[in-house]
Structure 1
Amino acid sequence: MTFVRLGYVAMSLKVPNSSPSQTMTITNFKKIQNKGAAILKLERITRSNLHNTLRILRHNAANDIQFYRMTSRLVPLATFEGLPDWDYMAAIEDSLKEVGMFVVEREMRVDFHPDHFVLINSPKKEVLKMTVKTLILHKRLLEGMGIDPKHRCVLHVGGVYGDRELALERFIHNWMLVPTGIQDMIILENDDKLFHLDDTLYLCEKLGIPLVFDYHHHIAHHKNKHWEDQWDRILKSWSASHLPIKMHISSPKSEKQFRAHNDFVDVKMFMDFLNEIKGSVDQIDCMIEAKRKDEALFKLMDDIKQYENIEINDGASFYIK
């Protein structure tokens, strides 16, 4: 028997006017002639994003959802080089603590998945520098919430840059340039185009990084389609983590747009995965990457009730026997 928790990404479609990703472009920032006034507007936007994050977390708690991915866009322009002296943490200290207290008191699992421009294996020094700067932002936000940053940031391996083997070795080289406190945050995910499960496991095992298995990505892009042959290695990558093993679940939009995410999760596809891994691990947290966000989670919970080997625990978790 395995305990399964479901989570979803960033936006709720059930909580009105609750975007946690409101932003301001650099262009609009520069249009405000008074820099102090522009910074005050950035801070208002950030506090609004954190307020909406708390609203979503309250919605999650009311619906038994204990697993949630926060947006990486909570603080607009936080890494903008034109604002080197902006102390955004001072402006949002109370808001961060409020979010963090709610998460900790309800024993929720939250994490981040920084955007595609965060590239540890980039051959460009300035890209690596910005990558580290962005990851430091995530670490500061988690620490400001009172949440242990360890294993809270999902990344892809990065780009191939014309040579897959060299790109993997550059990741290892650049990893040594990343501060230890940032290294500890990272968990790596197999992707749907460039670095398959075998590539990602190679890095995870070499560098001691947990692997987030994306089932949809694996079906779309693999060296060996039999992912279950590697399942013990995936589990072992989490052995040093204080968090349960994590995976991503989504379904293809269509045969022609196979890599794109569907609005909802195909329950049969999900059950195919669960029936393979049941009993191999006590608990697994499954992040739903579907267009309909929390609606997809609620539908999946309804769909899964039809299976005899499922025992519902609450509104967002169950046991598979």
Structure 2
Amino acid sequence: MKIRFGYVSHAISLWDASPAKTLTFTRYQQLSPEERIEKLLEVTRQNLNHTLRMLYYNLAHELELYRMSSSIVPLATHPEVNWDFVTPFRTEWLEIGELVKKKKLRVSFHPNQFTLFTSPQTKITENAVVDMRYHYRMFEAMGLEQEGLINIHIGGAYGDKQKTLPRFHQNLTTLPAPIKQVMTLENDDKTYNAEETLAACEKEAIRFVFDYHHHMANLSKTSLEELLPRIFRTWEHGHGPHGIPKVHISSPKNEKEFRSHADFVDPEFIMPFLNMVREIGADVDFMIEAKAKDQAALKLIEDLSKLRGFKRISGGAVEVK
């Protein structure tokens, strides 16, 4: 079996390469109409350029997974701005998309925790749809609407999970079908555990991005040994690269701050999980969520390749026997 590795958004090894440079609405309001559009274009152009730099960096290191920043476009979903961020950058968006397709990279987005479908407030669900449309629109601009994935959490429990979960399924009907097809769900470190998230995924035919660190902070009643084959089966809804299960990997900062991510990944922490994956024998993709981002991904590959049964087969992948 093979494990490929990737990281989140920003290769910290690169100088001044943040793909999430911002323009606040307060600052936007202070500008003249001409300055506003100029500033929006300037920041977006920079973020697109930095995204491309990151992809070339990943290719140089043979890292085949990459989570793009949700903040590429400043004020994209603000109701008072609502600007066309595709037309001025058709060439740039397509350049990114063509590179991803040509090199068969696996890319995704992860909207923030406010993009949820469990709220009793209609406005929050409407905003979640707006945010999902924004992410999908970026994939469309890149020509990656069939390749990219958009990952979210179920959301809040609002004091009663049994009442909230049916609302999640009901609210989800407001999401356009093409967007739902590229959506994935992830288990939480506090609220919805792996078992509860899996049930929602199975009911909706949605793929499950399992987070091992979150699972260890918020255990299910059923053992992971029992859940994992079912979790991996949710990826059978996918096609091509979407058929490979994707997992989030990080380790605790320390015992006291267990839910916080450490700078790097402790191989000892994830070894029980690796042994379970090894038993199943399926290829899997690891998205590293450690604070040191690209450096953490590369260090984990190096650390694992020193262990018996793990062989590094490229800059960004290991073979497990």
TM-score (normalizing by structure 2): 0.96
1:87 aligns with 2:84: yes
- What percentage of aligned pairs have identical amino acids? 38
Q: Which residue of structure 1 aligns with residue 112 of structure 2?
A: 115
- Does residue 290 in structure 1 map to residue 287 in structure 2? no
Could you say which residue in structure 2 is the equivalent of 1:212? 209
The answer to whether structure 1 residue 261 and structure 2 residue 261 are counterparts is yes
Match of 1:96 in 2: 93
Report the Cα distance in structure 2 between the residues aligned to 1:110 and 1:300, rounded to whole angstroms: 20
Counterpart of 1:89 in structure 2: which amino acid?
V
Paired residue total: 318
Contact 1:18 1:55 in 2 (8 A): yes
Distance 1:227 1:218, change over 3 A: same
Q: How does 1:5-84 map to 2 (within 5 A)?
A: 5-32=4-31, 34-84=32-82
Answer whether contact 1:4 1:283 (CA < 8 A) is retained.
yes
C-alpha distance in 1 between matches for 2:254 and 2:40: 39
Unaligned runs of 5+ in 1: none
Using the TM superposition, give the Cα deviation of residue 135 of structure 1 relative to its aligned residue in structure 2, in angstroms. 0.6
CA contact (8 A) 1:117 1:131 kept: yes
Match of 2:156 in 1: 159
Once the 2 structures are TM-superposed, how far is the Cα of residue 224 of structure 1 from its aligned partner?
A: 2.4
One-letter identity of the residue aligned with 1:308? R
Which residue of structure 2 lines up, in the alignment, with residue 141 of structure 1? 138
Distance 1:171 1:281 in 2: 33
Give 1:279 deviation, angstroms. 5.1
Q: Distance in 2 between matches of 1:6 and 1:26?
A: 36
Distance 2:30 2:91 in 1: 29
Cα RMSD of the aligned pairs, angstroms, is 1.2
- Whether the 8 Å contact between 1:150 and 1:184 is mirrored in structure 2 is no
Q: How far apart in 2 are the matches of 1:64 and 1:209?
A: 29
Separation in 1 of the partners of 2:38 and 2:279?
Answer: 52
Quote how far apart the aligned CAs of 1:150 are: 5.9
Q: Which whole-Å CA distance do the structure 2 matches of 1:90 and 1:252 have between them?
A: 43
Whole-angstrom CA distance in 2 between matches of 1:155 and 1:262: 22
Matched, 1:186 2:196: no
Report the counterpart of residue 273 of structure 2 in structure 1.
273
Partner of 1:171: 168
Q: Give, in whole Å, the separation in 2 of the partners of 1:252 and 1:297.
A: 15
Q: Would the aligned equivalents of 2:3 and 2:283 in 1 still touch at CA under 8 Å?
A: yes
Q: How far did 1:149 drift?
A: 4.2
Question: Quick one: structure 1 residues 105 and 150, their matched pair in 2 at CA, closer, same or farther if it must change by over 3 Å?
Answer: closer
Unpaired segments ≥5 residues, structure 2: none
**C-alpha displacement at 1:281, in angstroms?**
4.3
After superposition, the Cα gap between the structure-2 partners of 1:147 and 1:271, relative to the gap in structure 1 and judged at 3 Å, is same
Deviation at 1:235, TM superposition (A): 1.4
Q: CA deviation at 1:272?
A: 2.1
- In the superposition, the TM-score normalised over structure 1's length comes to 0.96
**2: CA distance, partners of 1:263 / 1:221:** 21
What does residue 231 of structure 1 align with? 228
Report the equivalent of 1:126.
123
